[in-house]
């Protein structure tokens, strides 16, 4: 990929939360239609439809695998359809799939769709599934491991290694809620949080309380991606993919490539590589669209992104510097803590929010004059990390 | 678990059975030895690296020949959490319980439980020794407790 070769020109999104009556097909249809309208194109321009697989397999996946989506949205000139999944990192693997299709020249317009309905499953089905999502079925799950326990251990190690306090971790939740309050599609957008409220909520897995743990949600988003050439022709506010950088670390949290939990994996090196490839640095970023799922992981990613000195990110958030109106906006849709956890959709939602910010379409959460931002995603038991720099222009072009 | 809660959640008996390991052809000797209260690790015959979890080939040098060796049975605590809510229902009655990342003397890490230990004395780097918990007729899980010189 060369810098700024591809661009996103439109997005769609439905409200996130508990919507058991809304099928994945309905979500997929609505978000696709919105994205097509927002992009200002005709559905018959779409040459490929790529879907994010549902993280708990069901009939939606089967239908998607066998070509339902293009037909559902009436993409009569579709040439390619496929599903892509890499857990929480799906927004990245989806986008790389799209870039490959665009680079092939078979089409210059691709629609990407995510739809999720967790509310169809019982509490026990979800508990059982998510115990295995972050933990090895043979070596971890028999010990009563949970996803929250995994994040709790990483939090405990991070606090101990950096001197960050649990109050600062709670402050991340408060900041994310402030952003979510500005988002009409967020699951948690009505009640403000305080550090005390977060700390005093039910202890789940020490040091994580219930308000530091995300909850599963129904939801979905979509976007239209095209070549830079077409984007300039059809869209007044294209958002260019400037650079990205990736690393895979491990399956189980016991076998990470970097054994020190000050960060999980060598996040700082990956972030630096993304900045360098974009020809930009942290000082050029107007927003840091972080997908962490857990508030301590937000801090690890902030350390890696060089927003503050390593280990000082907690203080920065506690000082309100990352709040709406502050100098270092983070996760402006509130990510998993604000939108709810939509499986493969949290990173997808962060990407869509990134595009909206750069298109000036982020509503009350809009960061004025945003030109460049960096976003990330990762999946499994913090198995990988992908940073992407996006911009309203291509530096040096 | 409270019967009223079991009914409210619509749980069946199988929902309350703890998951057991499903050994692979590469890991079966580990579980067989654990049953006899021995902690075995797989060591690459070529480069000498201890491997956990076991895979078909050495993750360092790709050789496929291994030997099973006795671990010394000591470890240090790398990270831990006390589980107090929202665990899988089969583990509900065990709360609070500690899950942890332990680093064995041989350098490999495992997820395990810390047992026979007050939560208040847990600290990163504490010395641990292995104990064996016969969790069912089929499986024994190696777990860890504070080493003798550590306060329990």
Q: pLDDT for B15-64, tens place per residue?
A: 899 999 999 999 999 999 999 999 999 999 999 999 999 999 999 999 99
ipTM computed for the complex: 0.96
Cβ proximity of B77 and B102 under 8 Å: yes
Q: Do A206 and B21 touch (CB under 8 A)?
A: no
CA distance A69 to A92: 20
Q: What is the arithmetic mean of pLDDT over B109-132?
A: 96
Q: What is the pLDDT of residue B66?
A: 96
Q: Do B99 and A142 touch (CB under 8 A)?
A: no
Which two tokens mark B29? 């000797």
B13 has a pLDDT exceeding 90: no
- Residue B11: pLDDT band (50, 70, 90) is confident
Question: Mapping DSSP to helix (H, G, I), strand (E, B) and coil, where does residue A353 land?
Answer: helix
Q: Do B53 and A131 touch (CB under 8 A)?
A: no
**In terms of CA atoms, which chain A residue is nearest residue B28?**
A138
Q: What is the pLDDT of residue A304?
A: 95
Q: What is the pLDDT of residue A263?
A: 64
- Residue A131: pLDDT band (50, 70, 90) is confident
Q: For chain A, what are the domain ranges?
A: 6-121+216-234
Q: What is the pLDDT of residue A259?
A: 79
- Give per-residue pLDDT as tens, A262-275: 666 689 999 999 99
Nearest to A144 among B11, B80, B99 (CB): B99
pLDDT > 90: percent of chain A:
89
Q: What is the arithmetic mean of pLDDT over A327-335?
A: 98
Q: What is the arithmetic mean of pLDDT over A121-146?
A: 88
pLDDT > 70: percent of chain A:
98
Question: Mapping DSSP to helix (H, G, I), strand (E, B) and coil, where does residue B121 land?
Answer: helix
* CB-based burial, A170-191: b 16+ in 10 Å, e otherwise: bbbbbbbbbbbbbbebbbbbee
Cβ proximity of A218 and A116 under 8 Å: yes
Q: What is the pLDDT of residue A264?
A: 64
Spelled out in words, what is the top-level CATH class assigned to the domain A6-121+216-234? alpha beta
Q: What is the pLDDT of residue A396?
A: 84
B152 has a pLDDT exceeding 70: no
Residue that is written with structure tokens 């978000």 in the block: A31
- The count of other CB atoms within 10 Å of the CB of residue B62 is 11
* CB-based burial, A57-90: b 16+ in 10 Å, e otherwise: eeebbebbeeebbbebbebeebebbbbbbbbbbb
- Give per-residue pLDDT as tens, A174-206: 999 999 999 999 999 999 999 999 999 999 999
Flag whether residue A203 sits within 8 Å of chain B, measured between CB atoms: yes
Q: How far is A124 from chain B (nearest CA, A)?
A: 7
pTM of the predicted protein model: 0.96
DSSP E strands, chain A: 6-13, 48-52, 80-84, 109-116, 203-205, 208-209, 219-227, 239-248, 287-289, 372-377, 384-391
Nearest to A210 among B85, B87, B135 (CB): B85
Q: What is the pLDDT of residue A336?
A: 97
Q: What is the pLDDT of residue B2?
A: 87
Nearest to A145 among B86, B99, B124 (CB): B99
**Average pLDDT along chain A:** 95
A252 CB neighbours in chain B (<8 A) are 53, 111
Give the DSSP H/E element, type plus range, for residue A350.
Answer: helix A345-359
Q: Which domains does chain B have, with CATH numbers?
A: 22-70 (no CATH), 72-152 (2.40.50.840)
- Residue A56: pLDDT band (50, 70, 90) is confident
Flag whether residue A160 sits within 8 Å of chain B, measured between CB atoms: yes
Instruction: Give chain B's contact residues with A (Cβ, < 8 Å).
Output: 9-11, 15, 18-24, 27, 52-53, 78-91, 94, 97, 99-101, 108-113, 119, 124, 135, 139, 141, 143
CA distance B150 to B124: 13
Q: What is the pLDDT of residue A241?
A: 98
A146 CB neighbours in chain B (<8 A) are 83, 86-88, 99
Cβ proximity of A217 and A338 under 8 Å: no
- Residue A285: pLDDT band (50, 70, 90) is very high
Q: What is the pLDDT of residue B27?
A: 96
Q: Do A153 and B89 touch (CB under 8 A)?
A: no
Q: Do A204 and B84 touch (CB under 8 A)?
A: yes
B112 CB neighbours in chain A (<8 A) are 143
Q: What is the arithmetic mean of pLDDT over A305-334?
A: 96
Q: How far is B120 from chain A (nearest CA, A)?
A: 12
Q: What is the arithmetic mean of pLDDT over A125-138?
A: 84
**Torsion angle of the four alpha carbons A128, A132, A138, A144, in this order, in degrees rounded to the nearest 10:** -60
A142 has a pLDDT exceeding 70: yes
- Give per-residue pLDDT as tens, A20-38: 999 999 999 999 999 999 9
Q: Do A160 and B141 touch (CB under 8 A)?
A: no
A226 has a pLDDT exceeding 90: yes
Question: Mapping DSSP to helix (H, G, I), strand (E, B) and coil, where does residue A64 land?
Answer: helix
Flag whether residue A103 sits within 8 Å of chain B, measured between CB atoms: no
CA distance A347 to B31: 38
**In terms of CA atoms, which chain A residue is nearest residue B16?**
A124
Which two tokens mark A291? 């997908």
Which two tokens mark B140? 């024994």
* Kind of pairing between the strands at B50-51 and A384-391: unpaired
Q: How far is A152 from chain B (nearest CA, A)?
A: 6
Q: What is the pLDDT of residue B23?
A: 96
Give contacts of A 251-270 with B, CB under 8 A.
252-255, 259, 261
Q: How far is B128 from chain A (nearest CA, A)?
A: 17
Q: Do B85 and A202 touch (CB under 8 A)?
A: yes
Nearest to A210 by CA among A219, A199, A221, A226: A199
B150 has a pLDDT exceeding 60: no
């Amino acid at each position: 990929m060369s810098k700024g070769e591809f661009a996103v020109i439109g997005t769609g999104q439905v409200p996130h939360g508990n919507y058991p009556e809304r099928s994945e097909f309905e979500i997929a249809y609505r978000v696709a239609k919105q994205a097509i309208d927002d992009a200002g194109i005709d559905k018959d321009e779409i040459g490929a439809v790529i879907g994010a697989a549902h993280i708990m397999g069901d009939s939606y996946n089967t239908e998607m695998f066998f070509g339902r989506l293009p037909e559902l949205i009436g993409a009569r000139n579709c040439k390619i359809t496929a599903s892509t999944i890499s857990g929480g990192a799906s927004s990245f693997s989806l986008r790389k799939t799209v870039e490959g299709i665009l680079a092939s020249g078979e089409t210059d317009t691709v629609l990407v769709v995510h739809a999720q309905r967790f509310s169809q499953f019982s509490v026990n089905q979800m508990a059982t599934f998510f115990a295995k999502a972050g933990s090895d079925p043979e070596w971890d799950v028999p010990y009563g491991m949970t996803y929250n326990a995994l994040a709790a251990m990483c939090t405990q190690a991070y606090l101990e290694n950096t001197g960050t306090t649990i109050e600062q971790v709670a402050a991340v939740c408060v900041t994310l809620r402030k952003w979510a309050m500005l988002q009409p599609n967020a699951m948690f957008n009505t009640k403000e949080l305080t550090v005390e409220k977060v700390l005093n909520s039910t202890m789940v897995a020490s040091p994580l309380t219930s308000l530091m743990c995300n909850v599963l949600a129904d939801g979905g988003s979509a976007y239209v991606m095209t070549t830079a050439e077409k984007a300039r022709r059809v869209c007044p506010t294209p958002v260019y993919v400037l650079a990205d950088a990736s690393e895979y670390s491990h399956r189980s949290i016991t076998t990470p490539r970097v054994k020190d939990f000050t960060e999980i994996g060598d996040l700082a090196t990956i972030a630096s590589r993304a900045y360098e490839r974009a020809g930009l640095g942290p000082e050029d970023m107007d927003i840091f669209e972080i997908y962490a799922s857990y508030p301590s992981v937000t801090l690890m990613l902030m350390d890696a992104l060089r927003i503050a000195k390593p280990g000082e990110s907690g203080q920065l958030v506690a000082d309100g510097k990352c709040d709406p109106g502050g100098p270092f906006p983070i996760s402006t849709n509130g990510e998993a803590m604000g939108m709810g956890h939509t499986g493969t959709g949290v990173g997808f939602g962060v990407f869509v929010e990134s595009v909206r910010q750069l298109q000036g379409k982020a509503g009350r959460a809009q960061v004025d004059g945003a030109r460049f931002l960096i976003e990330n995603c990762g999946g499994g038991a913090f198995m990988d990390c992908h940073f992407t720099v996006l911009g309203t222009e291509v530096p040096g072009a | 678990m409270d019967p009223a809660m079991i009914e409210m959640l619509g749980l069946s008996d199988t929902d309350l059975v703890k998951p057991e390991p499903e050994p692979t052809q590469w890991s079966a000797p580990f579980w067989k030895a654990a049953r006899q209260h021995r902690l075995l690790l797989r060591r690459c015959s070529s480069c000498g690296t201890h491997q956990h979890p076991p895979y078909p080939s050495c993750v360092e040098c790709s050789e496929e020949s291994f030997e099973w060796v006795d671990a010394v049975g000591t470890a240090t605590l790398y990270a831990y959490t006390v589980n107090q809510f929202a665990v899988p229902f089969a583990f509900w009655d065990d709360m609070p319980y500690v899950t942890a990342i332990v680093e064995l003397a041989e350098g490999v890490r495992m997820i395990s439980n810390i047992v026979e230990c007050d939560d208040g004395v847990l600290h990163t780097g504490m010395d641990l020794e292995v104990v064996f918990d016969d969790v069912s007729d089929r499986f024994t899980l190696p777990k860890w407790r504070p080493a003798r010189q550590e306060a329990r």
